[in-house]
A and B are shown apart, each in its own frame.
Chain A
Amino acid sequence: MANVHIKPIGLLDMLYFKSKKVKRDSIIDATAVKELKADYESNIKAHERHPGNQEFVIEDIIIRGRGDVRSYVLRKKDGTNPAFFRAGQFVVLRQMIDGKLICRPVTLSCGPSMTLEGKCMVTVKRVEPDGFLSGYIHDNWKIGDTIETSGPQGTFYYEGIRDAEKVIAVAGGSGITPVFSMACAIADGDEDFDLTVLYGSRTRDDVLFEEEFAEIMKKTGKVRVINVLSEEEDEGCEHGFITADLIRKYAGEGTFSVFAAGSKGMYDFLDGEAEKLGLKKKYYRKELYDNVSRPWEYEGYPMEAKDKTFNLKIKMCDKVFDIPCAANENIMVALERAGIAGPNRCRGGICGWCRSRLLEGTVFIPEETDGRRAKDKELGYIHPCASFATGNIYIEMPNRRN
């Protein structure tokens, strides 16, 4: 080494090196002790936007449709504003029922700016027979009750950088809630795009948010709603299913994005229509499924597992549990039934919040709800909310915190 000889950089270069650490110490010594902070402005804003949980008081209940749909107007218990969100996002309801924590995502059915008035709204449709939580909510939640949710979650929202300026929203039944939120956001100036809603209901009496939509359409010319009734004909409404032809009729010329929110059945039909329209993936976005169920309806399901009940062994930190796990229900539901559900959010296999390690056994994961990372697939990690036991299994799950 030392083949190269360079001119001195300053006076006494060696001393400069030696004294550097000492000089650092003298700077430290000369510093007055500040009151240390862990949280600065960005930390506070980030926490406001992404709270782990929000405690609400039910301020009002609005009964909709045939009485099987209820909106709950919520105000934060501590008096602060609910987290701001992007129209179309959901929160996870966290409800203790008989000592067991049950979680389900529910769309925020209001404009984001409502949070600045200290309120937000969620809408819950009573689902029979699977809707364990929705039934409980309808039967039990009263004005003045305290309830708990997560912060806003999900990626089903309009993004001007990515989506076409014209959006055809295809909503089925209570799938209207994220679309209604988007319409509110346009009226409030939080979003800026052209929204045409093709709203599929069975009958006129099933249509939700009709008055609210009418109000929005008075405020802005950027929103219009077309009711599409499958079981009756009515004036001013389309009749039948939401087909490629119908979409084309209302989309007109130019590029458009399709935003779809509804049931698996609706998506299966709409996928075919999207193909007829030649829609690129970029222009076709679906809200994730709520609580993936009926695994046998997905391709590749091993039918011999159907209707069976398996043993589920689960490790959480230093504790191990043994519980039954019905093949027909996703693993997350089995954990909820046993009262030991670990972290979970979207319930559609996508967000990865329930990410767990499969230590033994086999599971079925529908391809369209498989939101796992490539390395996790390789190492045998699963998202229990979209995985179904096909034999006895042993998993390790992150600790639950509630």
Chain B
Amino acid sequence: MSKFDAVVIGAGTGGLSAALSLATAGKKVLLLEQHNLPGGCASSFVRGRFEFDASLHEFCSLGSPAEWGLTGKLLEEKYKLNAEWILVPDLFRCIGTTRSGRHMDVTMPCGKQNFIDKMEEIVPGSRGPMETFFELAEECDAAYNYFNEHLFEGLDKKGYTYVDEGLFMKKYPNFLKVAEYPFNVVLRKIGMPDDAIDLLNIYWTYIGTDYERLSFVHQAWMLLMYIKYHPAICKKTAHGLTMSFVERFRELGGEFWLNTKALEVTADESGKITGVETTAGFVETNYVIANVNPQTAYTKLLSKNIKVPERELKRVSAEKHGVRFFNAYVGLNKSCEELGIKDYTIFMPGSFDTNVNYACSKKYEGNPYGTIVIYNIVNPEASPPGTTVLTFTCAYTEDVWGGFSQKEYVKRKQETFRAVLKNFEDATGIIIHDCIEEIEIATPWTFCNFLGTPQGTVYGFETSEWDTMVSRLMSLKKDQPIHGFKTCGASGARGDGFNQTYLNGDDMATLILMDMAEDEKEAK
């Protein structure tokens, strides 16, 4: 029988990070994955002469060797990964009609000054508020970094993450003032013109909550990271990034079992974790991190001996499942030059009003929001010479695909794709429907199949007005109340995103190390 210091169940982004974090701390770790491929969303697949990235198109907060961003620091300095990054030069192009009725077709650049200048050019009078916005975003970034560095220093009397309020009042007063208010509420308060607000709302599907409810710090920080450090992708797709985790984990002596499903996290009668029953037999351990939604963990994974506290059951009951996707992966038999494609990310919001978009995302009919990513613009080696590889994405916030029958499913896929494709061709004048050599369409059903998440959600629990990223981080320990067992991934405190789930995996590894230290102390 094998014995490990810790077992990590699931090699998605959160699980890989948790496993690597524990291995970095010198622990003997077993990583289990039920599929025969690691990565979860951070994966790729081959069709004909194309390799499609399953999801990575704009990695956030990487930074550069001169100054790593929050996640860059974790991946490069702590984990010492050997990933091959490519920076995205421009932020995005967006085409649509603003709330004020103005038709927009603009490309926004990276770099703070470039971004402000461009915004002033498009929306005269926005310079002042944009400068204020960046001041606030920078302060939020500094405060958030400080907060992250001190996240595990202790708890206050009520069990929340300890925050030195005096220090924050002195150093980051604006952070305290704006962080938790909804994004658009703050923008209006600083006098941001409406059309500029619309452009700053463009990323809403990256978090999946309308900006009348999403907290300021969550979006402002993400936007700042993109503008300041550039978004990044990996040279050999997200699978390349995943494999850099696997390689490093092995180097540190980690044991990785693929095609091995965890059947039950076992515990003795007192509820103390004793191991994991798997399809490859029983493994002994007292510490488990599961890269699954807590709902899945509590219904399918935990031994009956482990009593989930009432407060935790209430928390999970209160949460709403976040964004899930329609993704079309398309390989074209013509190059970007032949087709006249110049942009990497193209947003085609049906409306710039995120309230309207959020409402539409609850339905199948009339969900008009499309994001198109053309990989070859940033990575000329993304597909063979003379070809182009791109993805179309639409977001849903309810189980709208659940009502379809098996017989109509393919027709729904095709009809959705044709609608998004028509929008794209009409808006850009770029005609691609006659040069599609390969196409694969993923729907929420596909994500159910590969990720096993409730409703096929990719973003975990929605971060909404009452359930913000910061208040979740303040409740980090409260929300993981089972000694020796944690869940990680997009359903964790930081929400969705490669960067957020890697950070969350590391957070959960830290909580497990704290549980280990506590037990050692008690044993002495």
Contacts and interface: CB of A to CB of B under 8 A. Distances in A.
Contact of B236 (A1, A20, A374): A374
B13 to A, nearest CB: 16
Contacts of B51: 373-374
A401 B259 CA distance: 8
A34 B317 contact: yes
Interface in A364-402: 371-376, 378-379, 398-401
B139 interface: yes
Contacts of B150: none
B261 interface: yes
Q: Chain B's interface: helix, strand, loop or mixed, by majority?
A: helix
B152 interface: no
Nearest to A160: B414
Given A16-B180, A17-B179, A45 B299 contact: no
B437 interface: yes
Contacts of A84: 406-407, 409
A379 B247 contact: yes
A166 to B, nearest CB: 14
A375 B446 contact: no
Contact of A4 (B132, B158, B314): B132
A379 B243 contact: yes
B308 to A, nearest CB: 9
Given A21-B475, A352-B46, A399-B259, A45 B402 contact: yes
Q: Chain A's interface: helix, strand, loop or mixed, by majority?
A: loop
Contacts of B138: 1
Contact of A355 (B36, B299, B474): B36
B85 to A, nearest CB: 14
A399 B236 contact: no
A49 B430 CA distance: 35
- Chain A CB within 10 A, most for which of B160, B243, B406: B406
B177 interface: yes
Contact of B318 (A31, A43, A350): A31
B471 A21 contact: yes
Contacts of A162: 436-439
B470 A20 contact: yes
Contacts of B176: 13-14, 17
Contact of B136 (A6, A42, A372): A6
A372 B311 CA distance: 47
A381 to B, nearest CB: 9
A113 B409 CA distance: 13
A116 interface: yes
Contacts of A43: 448, 452, 454-456
A190 interface: yes
A49 B178 contact: no
Interface in B234-279: 236-237, 239-240, 243, 247, 255, 257-261, 279
Nearest to B440: A155
A249 interface: no
Interface stretch (A22-30, A55-63, A126-134, A268-276): A22-30
Given A24-B466, A24-B471, A42-B399, A375 B299 contact: no
A379 B261 CA distance: 25
A343 interface: yes
Given A38-B295, A45-B406, A399 B448 contact: no
Contact of A350 (B46, B260, B279): B46
B47 interface: yes
B239 to A, nearest CB: 5
A323 interface: no
B403 interface: yes
B203 interface: no
Given A38-B296, A49-B406, A399-B259, A161 B401 contact: no
A142 interface: no
Contacts of A41: 399, 402-403, 455
Given A29-B314, A33-B313, A399-B279, A24 B437 contact: no
B414 A161 contact: yes
B418 A161 contact: yes
A66 interface: no
B172 interface: yes
A9 B181 contact: yes
A46 B454 CA distance: 11
A223 B436 CA distance: 25
Interface string B396-410: 000101111011011
A343 B444 CA distance: 25
Contacts of A13: 176-178, 181
B36 A20 contact: no
Interface of A: 1-4, 6-10, 13-14, 16-18, 20-25, 27-29, 31-34, 36-50, 84, 86, 112-113, 115-116, 155, 159-162, 190, 280-282, 317-318, 342-343, 350, 352-355, 371-376, 378-379, 398-401
25 contacts: A1-B139, A7-B189, A13-B176, A13-B181, A16-B180, A21-B470, A22-B158, A25-B478, A31-B314, A31-B315, A36-B299, A38-B296, A38-B299, A40-B455, A41-B402, A42-B455, A45-B401, A49-B445, A84-B409, A116-B407, A155-B47, A160-B414, A281-B437, A375-B243, A399-B260
The 7 nearest A-B residue pairs measured at CB: A41-B402, A398-B259, A46-B448, A398-B258, A84-B406, A4-B135, A31-B318
Interface of B: 2, 36-37, 44-49, 51, 132, 135-136, 138-139, 142, 158, 160, 165, 169, 171-174, 176-181, 185-186, 189-190, 236-237, 239-240, 243, 247, 255, 257-261, 279-281, 293, 295-296, 298-300, 310-311, 313-318, 324, 333, 399, 401-404, 406-407, 409-410, 414, 417-418, 433, 435-440, 444-446, 448-449, 452, 454-456, 466-468, 470-472, 474-475, 478
Given A4-B136, A6-B136, A159-B439, 12 more contacts: A1-B142, A9-B181, A13-B178, A20-B470, A24-B475, A37-B299, A46-B446, A49-B445, A116-B406, A281-B48, A378-B236, A401-B259
